[in-house]
Structure 1
Amino acid sequence: MLLRQLEYFVAVAHERHFARAAEVCGVSQPTLSDGVRKLEQELGMPLIRRGHTFQGLTPEGSRLVVWAQRMVDDRRALHDAAAVLRSGLSGTLRVGVVPAATTTVARVLDRFCAEHPLVEVHIESMLSTNDIIQQISNYDLDAGICYPVGNELVRYRPLYDETWAFLAPQHMVDEAAESITWAQAASYPLVMLGPTHGLTPMVGAFEASGVTPHITIRTDSVASLFGFVNTGRWASVVPDRWVLDSGQVTDLALLELVEPVVQTRIVLAHRSAEPMSPVVEALVESAVTVCSSAAGAR
């Protein structure tokens, strides 16, 4: 079995098109097709359903593509490790980020990129935690900054605990106020992110307070949420770290939400397989250092 054959198989599974897969692999379509057929012959089973066009993976192919992707990714990690020994860290780092961490990730990557300038970083933002964990498990992402969920294929490293806070135009709240209850916050016109973006703790806090929040706008954009609050017409309930790291509180009030105080943990997620790739190991070091320093300064 040749690793190149596994690369062909993985490319077809991802692209779902033989010609595009051949282009990705830098070979002709007949060469790619021949490589996949030889892999099928060696394994003794069909991996791809064929017609005039790609028609999907067979049940066997759907199970084995995960193993093939793992072997291809291990090969990439081996080359990355060798490159580090030759000339320092390089390559590509793919990171998924939940909305609550879209501002924190900039501080983490500021340190990472300063220490490893040859690494190209790709950020996938506005993903749910489930999306991130799935893509890490499928080798589509190298790491993620998200909420912890149970998955034996993924390892979590605690970064920080975020506290939920009330974000509003200054004129909406008492200048002397430092906190607001969830029941009080529910009466304001609110703009919120969609329900898939880690809002379970917020929903639970409103329910525990016996109130229904007055949500008039839902958005899938962090930028638009800030934009709506800045109009002076809406307020929002957001993680405090998200706002503080954004630097956008100059003309806004940020009050602690109490009765109850709600905190959620943000973690760095990566595949649990050892050894870690050098680029992920470097990201872990940068993230833990930056978040530990921030916690000490607060």
Structure 2
Amino acid sequence: MFWLSRALIDKLEFFIAVAREQSFSRAAEACGVTQPTLSAGIKQLEETLGVLLVNRSSRFHGLTSEGERVLEWAKRIVGDSRAMRQEVRALKSGLTGLMRIAVIPTALSMVAALTTPFRAKHPGVRFSVTSANSHEILQGISNLEIDAGITYLDNEPLGTVRSLPLYIEQYRLLTSAGSPFADNKSVTWAEVGRIPLCLLTPDMQNRRIVDQLLASTGGARPEPTLESNSVIALYAHVKTGQWASIMAEKLVETLSIAEPIRSIPIIEPQAVHQIGLVVPRREPMTPLTATLFAEAKKLIAPRL
């Protein structure tokens, strides 16, 4: 059937790239072709379907209403085509290929517990692990840019993905000896809100959660003295002894906190959020995704 031809799949890939990049030149670069080749492919796709897909003159001006609908079909067809080719390869020579995973910064420390046993069983698989915010992860899955993500499951809408809870995120104050609350066994969110903090940037869901918790105490939401999208940068500042931060408990465990840094549980209100694996909602799952999902089930915390 015409939609399974390699030539048409290529044109659908071009179209998905144009919609994602909102630029013909960037889409061509992402697809590894020249801009004239990509533009000709889009034009041929429009002629095949008999509709205009892209509003354009010499530049991209958005998709037409028909283009928006075709985009959904294009993602489905290209996704199924990739899944079919991957399954055929797996049947022929075992599981191989690249597994692309995007992870929120606070969960990066646990990815090795997932990728290491996976690769031990399937040495032909390579991994690409990138740090991303929760919105970028969902967009990456929708745009076929990643195969899976690890993100929050219970705080903001996930859309049409399949999810699997892995563990509960809790929060700690990281500070240094001699600073306020350094000798406390625990602190409240109201107390934390009274000291200067360095925090993740506002585009991170962890930051939005922290802001909500600080605001819930009835006090004014404090302005952080430093923002970064890197937890390593935050930790480096805490190590100077001049800064404090709020970090996820699992991340703190990985950092192996030692004196003079203090890691103090934050209570009142007790705050927990679910972290889990998200993958495309597609049946059947690709062999790579299905195998990752199976490995992830073995990591589920007993309390979940």
Q: 2:236 aligned to 227, 231, 240, which one?
A: 227
**Pair 1:134 & 2:143 matched:** no
Matching of residue 276 in structure 1 with residue 279 in structure 2: no
Q: Which blocks of at least 5 consecutive residues in structure 2 are unaligned?
A: none
- Report the residue type matching 1:135 in the other structure: G
Aligned counterparts of 1:35 and 1:206: Cα–Cα separation in 2? 52
Q: Report how many aligned residue pairs link the two structures.
A: 291
Which deviates the most, 266-275 or 146-155?
Answer: 146-155
Q: Percent identity?
A: 31
- The superposition leaves residues 62-83 of structure 1 with CA deviations (integer Å, 9 ceiling, x where unpaired) of 3312311221121111111122
Partner of 1:153: 160
Say if 1:192 and 1:53 are closer, same or farther in 2 by CA, change over 3 A. closer
Q: What does residue 74 of structure 1 align with? A: 80
- Classify the secondary structure of the residue corresponding to 1:102: helix
Residue 172 of structure 1 aligns to a residue whose secondary structure is coil
Does the alignment pair 1:263 with 2:266? no
Q: Match of 1:192?
A: 199
1:188 and 1:234 in contact (8 A); partners too: no
User: Counterpart of 1:7?
Assistant: 10
Structure 1 Cα separation of the partners of residues 279 and 79 of structure 2: 13
Tell me the amino acid that sits aligned with residue 263 of structure 1. Answer: V
Matched-pair contact (CA < 8 Å) for 1:101–1:146: yes
Q: Distance in 2 between matches of 1:26 and 1:189?
A: 50
The residue identity in structure 1 corresponding to 2:10 is E
What does the per-residue CA deviation read over 1:272-296, in whole Å, with 9 as the maximum and x for residues that have no partner? 121111111111222232343xx58
**Structure 1: runs of 5 or more not aligned:** none
CA RMSD of aligned residues (A): 2.8
Displacement of 1:152 after TM fit? 4.5
- Most deviating of 113-122 and 173-182: 173-182
CA distance in 2, matches of 1:241, 1:177: 20
Taking a change above 3 Å as real, the CA distance of residues 118 and 170 of structure 1, as seen in their structure-2 partners, is farther
SS of the residue 1:158 aligns to: strand
Matched letter for residue 129 of structure 2: I
Structure 2 residue identity aligned to 1:77? A
Asked if the contact 1:13/1:57 (under 8 Å) is kept, the reply is no
Q: Secondary structure at the match of 1:189?
A: coil
CA contact (8 A) 1:189 1:233 kept: no
Q: Distance in 2 between matches of 1:210 and 1:19?
A: 47
> Partner letter of residue 11 of structure 1?
F
For the residue of structure 1 that corresponds to 2:277, the secondary structure is strand
The answer on 1:288 being equivalent to 2:284 is no
Q: In the alignment, is residue 90 of structure 1 matched against residue 88 of structure 2?
A: no
Distance 1:59 1:226, change over 3 A: same
Within the alignment, does 1:59 sit opposite 2:65 as a pair? yes
Residues 251-260 or 17-26, more deviating: 17-26
- Aligned residue in 1 for 2:24: 17
In the superposition, the TM-score normalised over structure 1's length comes to: 0.85
